[in-house]
Every structure is written in structure tokens, then in C-alpha cells.
Amino acid sequence: MKIREVRITPIAFPDPPLLNAAGVHQPWALRTIVEVDCGDGLVGLGETYGDAPHLKLMRAVAPHLAGHDVFATTKIQRAVQALVGEKDAPDLHGLTGRSSPEKTVSRVFSPIEVACLDLQGQATGRPVHDLLGGAVRDAVPFSAYLFYKYAAHPGQDEDPFGEALTPVQIVAQAGRMIQQYGFGSIKLKGGVFPPDEELAAVRALREAFPDHPLRIDPNAVWGVETSQRIAAEADGLLEYLEDPTPGRAGMAEVAKSASMPLATNMCVVAFDHLPEAIELGSVQVILSDHHYWGGLRQSARLAGICQTWGIGLSMHSNSHLGISLAAMTHLGAAVPELSYAADTHTPWQLGVDVVETPLRFVDGAVPVPTGPGLGVTLDRDALARMHEDYLRCGVTERDDTTYMRRTFDPEFRNTSPRW
Ligand SMILES: O=C([O-])[C@@H](O)[C@@H](O)[C@H](O)[C@@H](O)C(=O)[O-]
Ligand SMILES: [Mg+2]
């Protein structure tokens, strides 16, 4: 099965004003949809970032992949590596750690690998998880991913989740999300308010949801001493503390005294970060993310390394649509090491999608699809509409900081550590 064409389509979809350490989400989130076409109606799907520098690389690489065998993903990975070379395409928000040429190659290759696995599955009549060693669970658990947020973007109507700037509002948001999706664990995106205020929100969540494991993620805006103090005060409250402070050395300092595991999707984001993190004891949980770890097979490889070194495994997410959710679900199904419920932004997309029938959540988990390939079909009308939105929306890069300054808080500074 040879690749005839790789189509790259940037799209935009509405995103609520979610707050984080870098600022606030813009009214539009961007993604790039990748279609690997082998002719005879066989098309594999991938989904990746939509930021301009990344899109430019995707567009530069795509035409050179024609002729490759879709089963030869190692060769395709090498071809991508040769084409990308030493180019780097950092993002502007910095919430998934530093960029590097290695990570950039992984980010470009990932959606192509996912699309090739989708094609391999379609050709063999097997679900993608079978190509990763087979499912070890029938459903993949996800967590309720809470955000502080404004009620609405300027000039827009309030979204159904409304404002969430206080512990009471955060508890209400959790209630709504848990009622709708049945999530069995809760993550609060922090790094927005002073740490003690965010700890108060965690305590309020504990009171309202006594049996739900809790996590907080301030995206590395607490200093080492603040992180140590908050970790001590949160003793017994958290299943893990995610990226309290910047860097592998800083995380290791915090880990020495913290009673709960420390997790990251910021200080270990590429394979060559692992030796130092293991030596220092920086993290006890890694949030994998196939979008920047180089696809599903490399993510499974990361899971194996984590298992060898006694590191727990969770899964990270940015704003995404149904192709990514399907890929995350197949990976989560096939990786025995997944020891925590995965993150997902799905509830925040308020039902908008680029696939015809998105995978559904049942009791906080996505039942693992059993049909061929990824098990999702591109909605071509939605793709065309969302591409039009991309062309007219005026956003070409995710830039939470500039949008925050321009729209809500001119004094906002994206500094780390901040507290
Ligand atoms: O979407 C966001 O605002 C998140 O903050 C995201 O960008 C982070 O990368 C992520 O969810 C995280 O766990 O750090
Ligand atoms: Mg995180």
C-alpha cells in the first residue's frame, strides 16, 4: 500500500476563555487535519497542532511522502527526520516544555504515523490497538479537566460552563462535567491565582467529591520553596502534583519532600530528557502525549521505559478533536502501564467535531472501538466549514499571553516561576 498523496488542512474551532499560566485561550483553537491517501478510497487520518510554524513544516514535508509504503513507518520517520533536519518550530505558550529539533521531528511525524496506522488497520480489518499489541482494557478512563475561566470572550454569549474564578464556581464546573460525562477523577488547571487560593479550590473539590482522585497543574509557575510548602499542605489530598516548578533539577528538589508523586508534561518531553530525570528523581509520573512523543508506537515505547524505571504513566492533552481522541483511546487501550485516567479537552469543545460520529464517554471512559483502523470517519462538510473558519478567524498561532494582555489584563506577565 503506497502513499499517493498527503493532504494537510488547517482548521479552527471555537474555544472558551480558559485560563492558564500563559494567559487565556483565544476564541479559536487551531488544529491541522492530515489525510494520507492511498487511492481506491483508502484514506488514513491524523490530527496535529495548527500553529503557523508547525503547519509550514507539515506542508513542506507532505509532498515528499508519496510513494512510501504505509506499513514502513520507520522509513517514513527517517524521511521526515531528513526533511525537517535541524529546523525547530517552538510554540508560543510553552506549556508542553521546551521545543527542540528532536521534538519538532516527532511532532511532524506523529500525525502521519497515526494516519498510517489507521490505514494499516483498515487494510487488515483490525483496530489500531491491535497493531500496538492488542487491547488490555475495554474502555480508557479520562479525568474531568477543570479550568478557571471567564464567562465569555468579549462580545460573545456566555458558554454553558459560565464563569469559574472561585472555589465555589470550580466545584460547580466539576459537578456539571461529572454529571455529563461520569468522570471518576479530577484535574484542576492551576497557575492562574496565588497558590493558596488554588489549594482552597482543591480542598473545596475534596469536600464536594470525597472519592474522586484529585490533581492540580500550575504549569511550573511556583518556585521550589512555594512548591514544597504547597505539597506539604496538600498531603493526602492529591493523587499527583503536576509540574509545580520549572526544570528537572527544581522538580527533583520538590520531590525530595513531597509525599505525593510529581508528574510532568513539561520537564520530560523527549527521550533524551529521561536519563537525567531518572538520575535526579525529578518525576514519578510522566504524561505521555503522542502528538509530541512521535506517535503511538513511540508513546508505547515511553510506557515501557516508565515501567522499567518504576515511573507512573498518565496522558496529556491540549485542545483537540475526535481524531486525536480516537488515537489517544487506542493507545490507552494497548498500554498496560497507563496507571492514571488520561486528560482530555473534549468537554470544552462543546460538541464541535471534525469526525462524523465522535467516540463517546460512558461513565468517564471511552469504550475502545473494535472496528478497523481508528474507527472514526472524517466529516467532510465539517472539515470544509472549519477550514473556512481558519481562513477568516485571523488566528494563526496559539498565543494565550498576547490575547490575555490585549483583552482582559494589560498588566499580565508570563513569568516563571511567578509565586
Ligand atoms: O489548554 C491549556 O490551557 C493547557 O494548559 C494545556 O495547554 C497544557 O499543555 C496542558 O493541559 C498541561 O497539562 O500542561
Ligand atoms: Mg500539565
Residue by residue, DSSP assigns 259-307 as SSPEEESSS--SGGGHHHHHHHT--SEEEE-HHHHTSHHHHHHHHHHHH
189 catalytic per annotation: yes
| Cα(356)–Cα(369) distance, integer angstroms | 15
Q: Per-residue pLDDT tens for 201-241?
A: 999 999 999 999 999 999 999 999 999 999 999 999 999 99
Q: How confident is the model at residue 297 (pLDDT cuts 50, 70, 90)?
A: very high
If you search the block for the grid coordinates 499560566, which residue do you land on?
21
Classify domain 133-367 at the CATH topology level: TIM Barrel (3.20.20)
Burial of 402 (0-12, 13-18, 19+ CB in 10 A): middle
Atom of ligand 1 nearest to the CA of 242: 13
pLDDT for 51: 98
316 catalytic per annotation: yes
Q: Which residues line ligand 1 (CB under 6 A)?
A: 18, 20, 95-96, 189, 217, 219, 265, 316-319
Pick from 51, 95, 399 the residue to mutate for probing ligand 1's pocket: most ligand atoms within 8 Å of its CB: 95
Ligand 1 centroid to residue 120 C-alpha, Å? 31
Cell of 312: 507512573
CATH architecture of 5-129+379-393: 2-Layer Sandwich (3.30)
Average pLDDT over residues 293-314: 98
Atom 6 of ligand 1, residue of closest alpha carbon? 318
> For the chain, what are the domain ranges?
5-129+379-393, 133-367
Helices 195-208 and 224-233: angle between axes, nearest 10 degrees: 20
Q: How confident is the model at residue 351 (pLDDT cuts 50, 70, 90)?
A: very high
Q: How confident is the model at residue 104 (pLDDT cuts 50, 70, 90)?
A: very high
133-367 shares the fold of 5-129+379-393: no
| Cα(358)–Cα(343) distance, integer angstroms | 17
Atom of ligand 1 nearest to the CA of 219: 14
Ligand 2 centroid to residue 131 C-alpha, Å? 28
pTM above 0.80, yes or no: yes
Atom of ligand 1 nearest to the CA of 400: 3
Cell of 276: 537525567
DSSP 217-275: E-TT-S-HHHHHHHHHHTTTT-SEEE--SSSHHHHHHHHHH-SSPEEESSS--SGGGHH
Cell of 238: 492529591
Q: Report residue 305: phi and psi, to 5°.
A: -65, -45
**How many of the other CB atoms lie within 10 Å of CB of 406?**
14
Round the average pLDDT of the chain to a whole number and report it.
98
Ligand 2 centroid to residue 368 C-alpha, Å? 24
